[in-house]
């Protein structure tokens, strides 16, 4: 027999859920109440340092320098068990304006990284796009998503709307060691490793689209757990500038 009780998480927040006579609860039910994470993978190109603490709701952040910080690129904050991502809306010499209000009181100890999230780049010299966990937390990734746009029609033998790749993109997991999860050279390659795929035709104008989504628990039977000092990465090894747009995101939660 079970009864409803209030269970507190690590941050002191209480949630009502069913507790069995032996005191056990379903772990996956508890996980449903943890902080969700939805974020772009990005290429780290700048690490501005916060010079005064940020208040929840702020959209302007004071930093030591905005060198290398580009309008429209991703900006990601990491501190303690918290993580926040937005886009850079504007900059001055020592301030960054965010596209959405910040949701946590980050301090001058926070790690801040900025960089492009559009993967339509020249990767003939390989380029790495990644996402990681906050320093004192673990993130369970449930879903990996990919989207591409092109003015050229797409099919299973192309990558987006460009020719099949020579080297391919590599999905990688870094956790004190490197695990190459998959290599993809064309659109069919997404389906072959467990992504569901979908094409969009321009009707009657616009751009052709390709979308792919991999539900990791369905394909692999478990989540992809990203711990402190570990990363989920996409390595670009070909020239993707023929694409109009490419992005990859993850959905998950803080454990």
Nearest to 156 by CA among 210, 236, 214: 210
**CB within 8 Å of 178: residues ≥ 6 apart:** 172
pLDDT score at 34: 74
Question: What's the average pLDDT block by block, 10 residues per block, for the chain (255 residues)?
Answer: 52 53 51 79 97 96 97 96 96 97 95 98 97 93 96 96 97 89 97 96 90 94 88 97 97 90
pTM: 0.85
Residue in 177, 70, 57 with CA at minimum distance from that of residue 113: 70
Look up residue 189 and give its DSSP letter: H
Q: Is the dihedral of CA 115, 121, 127, 131 positive or negative?
A: positive
Q: Where in the chain is the domain with CATH 2.40.30?
A: 42-117
Is-contact 90 80, C-beta < 8 A? no
pLDDT of residue 25: 46
| pLDDT at res. 10 | 47
CB 142 within 8 A of CB 217: yes
Domain 42-117 has CATH 1.10.4100: no
d(CA 7, CA 238): 49
Residue 1's contacts (CB-CB under 8 Å, 6 or more residues apart) are 20, 21
- Does residue 227 contact residue 173 with C-beta atoms inside 8 Å? no
Name residue, tokens 């001055």: 92
d(CA 145, CA 196) in angstroms, rounded, equals: 10
What H or E segment, with its residue span, contains residue 220?
helix 216-220
**Predicted pLDDT of residue 203:** 80
pLDDT at 5: 53
pLDDT for the residue 21: 58
């Amino acid at each position: 027999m079970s009864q409803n009780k209030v269970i507190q998480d690590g941050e002191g927040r209480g949630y009502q859920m069913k507790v069995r006579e032996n005191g056990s609860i379903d772990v996956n039910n508890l996980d449903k109440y943890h902080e969700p994470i939805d974020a772009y993978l990005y290429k780290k190109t700048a690490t501005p340092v916060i010079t005064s603490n940020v208040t929840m709701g702020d959209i302007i952040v004071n930093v030591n320098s905005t060198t290398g910080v580009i309008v429209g690129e991703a900006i990601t904050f990491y501190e303690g068990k918290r993580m926040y991502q937005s886009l850079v809306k504007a900059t001055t010499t020592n301030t960054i304006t965010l596209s959405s209000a910040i949701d946590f009181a980050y301090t001058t100890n926070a790690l801040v990284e900025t960089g492009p999230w559009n993967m339509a780049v020249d990767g003939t010299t390989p380029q790495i796009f990644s996402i990681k966990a906050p320093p004192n937390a673990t993130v369970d990734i449930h879903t990996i998503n990919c989207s591409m746009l092109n003015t050229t029609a797409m099919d299973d033998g192309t990558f987006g709307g460009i020719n099949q790749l020579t080297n391919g993109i590599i999905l990688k997991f870094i956790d004190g060691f490197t695990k190459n999860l998959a290599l993809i050279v064309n659109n069919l390659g997404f389906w072959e490793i467990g992504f569901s795929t979908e094409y969009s035709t321009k009707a009657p104008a616009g751009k052709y689209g390709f979308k792919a989504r991999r539900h990791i628990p369905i394909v692999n039977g478990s989540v992809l757990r990203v711990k402190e000092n570990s990363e989920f990465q996409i390595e670009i090894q070909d020239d993707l500038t023929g694409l109009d747009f490419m992005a990859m995101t993850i959905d998950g939660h803080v454990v």
